[in-house]
Amino acid sequence: SGDGALDSGVTPVVETPLHDQVDRFQPIEELARTKVHTTFLARDTETDQRVALRVYRSGVPKQASSRKRLLREAETAEGLEHAGFVRVRDSGEADSRLWVAMDALSGRPLPQVWSDDQVEDAALLEALVGVGKAVEHANGVGILAGRLSAKDIYVSPQGEPRLVAFGVGAWV
């Protein structure tokens, strides 16, 4: 049970949809919440590294085929080695909830960066070119992106874009 303080002195958040750790990941704090999942900053209890842990609501997606597809997409993402993608470390299912663990990021979603008057247009264009290179890499290894959203692109403080999610349209 993960109700004690972590080595870093941060106490895990109690008010989450989780009662305990998910597989080997202990939630520390909630980062974001959507209708279908919650993303936490979490600690990998095997490596003691911090990760972003996306936990889907119980029963989401409802159809078994959709659940299998989501897990297959996560497993596919685990094999993508490119600086333009956030690294997926692991994925699985625990207590009827799908989960995906990935590198924790610093930065902001592209729409927030885009609306910032302090950011040069050339820097935004460079970030979009970086996203294009990441998608090109995925295509080159036989993965065709099916869904790509600006909110799934994070831009680091150094201006480097990272795709945190995209739907796999097809494997070729």
pLDDT in the model for residue 133: 92
- In tens digits, the chain (172 residues) has pLDDT values of 343 333 444 433 333 445 578 899 999 999 888 888 899 999 999 999 999 999 988 877 788 888 888 888 888 888 888 888 888 999 998 888 899 999 998 888 888 888 876 778 888 888 889 888 988 988 888 887 777 888 888 888 888 889 887 666 556 5
pLDDT in the model for residue 49: 95
CA distances from 163 to 63, 72, 80, 155, 157 (A): 26, 17, 11, 9, 15
pTM, full prediction: 0.77
H-only helix segments in the chain: 64-78, 110-114, 121-140
